[in-house]
């Protein structure tokens, strides 16, 4: 699919040479003045964009450091201060310190935006608007997924990119962008998976976007997302509001549910990484690890070492489905932790099991993985991208056991970059079977 690009009008204004010596009569009608102003604004926008994109125009006087990135983003304080009250106040506060220093001031993105990570691409997308006044199409390498049948209108990468831009626009006090991204996020709520609505809900909560927050709460309350996932993922006041809406919708009084209490104790023990307590609770009660969806919960939230300990108990069926139709491997695919997926496959997890809406574990991984993360070659000595590894591991298992794949053909040998191909197979080693948010609980 070709990347969507924004066509920009020409920013050049040409003058006939004869006009320099014999200027024509001055035209002052309204349309000509308006056209001249429009052309001038377009040229100004394009010229300012050069400050961002043209290395020959690098006259930046401050740097924004993004965690995990080797190169800082250079910015011009005068531009940012003129377009954002947030930056105006920030630079004003540091004015005296900057004047005494011979080096460019630098600011860490995690300090500017403490509640959520905003990646380099989202920040540059926002900067482009600040400099030019034009909002470009989302870059496809970070706002789409690698599932070839996805329309990319509500997949997780598309939502995450819009959420990043919403949060940054709110903190940097750019109200017109907040309105624009709020409308976009509203459109995602009803057509995306409920687990993908949670990031929208959280950004609405942190940015005090009441209308957007209420829509998300209503969507979650109408869903089959279980209470333990809601309590784990969301702020207390939000989860309580959802709980009240759910009780009201079925018109029954809130009662003490003993099995639910026992399940809660097991999951709290997992939160504490206390596998021995989990074993004790299960031994002393009439609830099983499967009934508590304990392995699902551990795979979603626990450290991989804890997951391995829970698997070693041999008290759970690795192909058990929760009430939403998700197997443990489906949850692992959503988390995208290769070591957990390998552990489950080693215990006999089935790659062919489908969710109620027809997705396999590898389909889930593809729908969550951005092209940037999948196709970027790994530099020697650098850790491979986990999203890519998860897909490779699952596709390798499907090729190893094609009869159990359910017709889910891996794309590795056709679309994988050369650095992860070895004689037509992925260079991922799985343990031998003999040795061996979210869809949630």
In the chain, where are the structural domains located?
58-112, 118-252, 255-316, 320-401
pLDDT at position 6 is 42
Most distant CA pair in the chain, distance: 100
3-class state of residue 385 by DSSP: coil
Please give the residue that has the higher pLDDT: either 53 or 84: 84
311-323 per-position pLDDT tens digit: 999 999 999 999 9
70-121 per-position pLDDT tens digit: 899 999 999 999 999 999 999 999 888 887 888 899 999 999 999 889 999 9
Q: Looking at domain 58-112, which CATH architecture does it have? A: 2-Layer Sandwich (3.30)
Tokens of 416: 């994988």
pLDDT at position 251 is 57
d(CA 197, CA 185): 9
d(CA 148, CA 366): 9
pLDDT at position 410 is 53
167-225 per-position pLDDT tens digit: 999 999 999 999 999 999 999 999 999 999 999 999 999 999 999 999 999 999 999 99
- The pLDDT of residue 233 is above 90: yes
d(CA 50, CA 48): 5
Residues 6+ away with beta carbon under 8 Å from 23? none
Please give the residue that has the higher pLDDT: either 312 or 404: 312
3-class state of residue 305 by DSSP: helix
111 bridge partner residues? none
pLDDT at position 2 is 44
Mean pLDDT score, 348-362: 95
Mean pLDDT score, 338-350: 96
d(CA 403, CA 419): 28
pLDDT at position 98 is 82
DSSP for residue 56:
G
242-301 per-position pLDDT tens digit: 999 998 887 555 555 678 899 999 999 999 999 999 999 999 988 999 999 999 999 999
pLDDT range class, residue 416, cuts 50, 70, 90: very low
- 124 burial (CB, 10 Å; 0-12 / 13-18 / 19+) is middle
Residue by residue, DSSP assigns 391-425 as HHHHHHHHHHSGGGSTT----HHHHS-GGGEETTE
d(CA 153, CA 144): 8
Report the chain's mean pLDDT, rounded to a whole number: 85
d(CA 338, CA 397): 13
pLDDT at position 199 is 97
pLDDT at position 26 is 52
Q: Of 371, 359, 343, 345, which is closest to residue 408 (Cα–Cα)?
A: 359
426-437 per-position pLDDT tens digit: 444 444 433 335
What topology does CATH give the domain 320-401? 1.25.40
pLDDT range class, residue 51, cuts 50, 70, 90: confident
Q: Please check whether residue 407 is in contact with residue 360, taking contact to mean a CB–CB distance below 8 angstroms.
A: no
Among 6-15, 129-138, 149-158, 370-379, the least confident range:
6-15
Length of the chain equals: 441
pLDDT at position 96 is 82
- The pLDDT of residue 405 is above 90: no
SS (H, E, C) 170-232: HHCCCHHHHHHHHHHHHHHHCCCCHHHHHHHHHHHHHCCCHHHHHHHHHHHHCCCCCHHHHHH
Alpha carbon distances (Å) from 242 to 34, 198, 219: 52, 12, 9
pLDDT range class, residue 412, cuts 50, 70, 90: very low
Place of tokens 């699919």: 1
d(CA 348, CA 433): 7
Q: Do domains 58-112 and 320-401 have the same CATH topology?
A: no
Total Cβ atoms within 10 A of residue 280: 12
pLDDT at position 391 is 97
pLDDT range class, residue 407, cuts 50, 70, 90: low
């Amino acid at each position: 699919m070709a990347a969507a690009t924004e066509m920009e009008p020409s920013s050049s204004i040409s003058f006939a040479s004869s006009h320099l010596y014999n200027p024509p009569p001055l035209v002052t009608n309204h349309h000509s003045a308006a056209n001249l102003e429009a052309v001038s604004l377009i040229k100004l926008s394009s010229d300012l964009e050069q400050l961002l994109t043209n290395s020959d125009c690098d006259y930046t006087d401050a740097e924004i450091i993004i965690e995990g990135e080797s190169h800082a983003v250079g910015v011009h304080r005068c531009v940012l201060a003129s377009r954002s009250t947030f930056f105006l106040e920030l630079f004003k506060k540091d004015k005296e310190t900057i004047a005494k220093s011979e080096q460019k001031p630098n600011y860490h993105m995690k300090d500017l935006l403490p509640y959520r990570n905003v990646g380099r691409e989202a920040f540059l997308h926002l900067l482009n608007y600040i400099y030019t006044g034009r909002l470009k199409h989302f870059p496809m390498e970070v706002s789409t997924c690698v599932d070839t049948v996805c329309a990319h209108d509500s997949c997780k990468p598309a939502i995450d990119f819009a959420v990043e831009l919403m949060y940054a626009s709110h903190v940097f006090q750019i109200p017109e962008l907040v309105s624009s991204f709020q409308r976009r996020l509203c459109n995602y709520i009803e057509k995306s998976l409920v687990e993908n609505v949670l990031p929208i809900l959280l950004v609405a909560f942190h940015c005090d976007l009441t209308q957007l927050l209420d829509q998300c709460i209503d969507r979650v309350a109408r869903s089959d997302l279980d209470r333990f996932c809601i309590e784990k993922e969301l702020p207390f006041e939000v989860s309580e509001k959802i709980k009240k809406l759910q009780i009201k919708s079925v018109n029954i009084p809130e009662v003490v549910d003993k099995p639910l209490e026992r399940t809660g104790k097991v999951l709290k023990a997992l939160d504490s990484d206390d596998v021995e307590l989990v074993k004790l609770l299960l031994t002393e009660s009439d609830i099983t690890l499967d009934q508590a969806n304990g392995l699902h919960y551990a795979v979603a939230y626990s450290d991989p070492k804890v997951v391995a300990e829970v698997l070693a108990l041999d008290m759970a069926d690795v192909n058990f489905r929760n009430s939403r139709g998700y197997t443990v491997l489906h949850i692992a695919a959503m988390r995208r932790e290769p070591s957990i997926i390998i552990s489950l496959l080693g215990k006999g997890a089935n790659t062919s099991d489908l969710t109620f809406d027809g997705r396999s574990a590898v389909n889930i991984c593809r729908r969550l993985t951005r092209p940037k993360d999948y196709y970027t070659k790994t530099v020697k000595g650098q850790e491979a991208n986990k999203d890519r590894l998860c897909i490779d591991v699952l596709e390798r298992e499907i090729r190893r056991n094609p009869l159990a794949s359910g017709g889910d053909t891996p794309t590795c040998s056709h679309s994988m970059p050369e650095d992860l191909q070895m004689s037509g197979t992925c260079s991922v080693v799985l343990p031998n079977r003999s040795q061996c948010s979210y869809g949630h609980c």
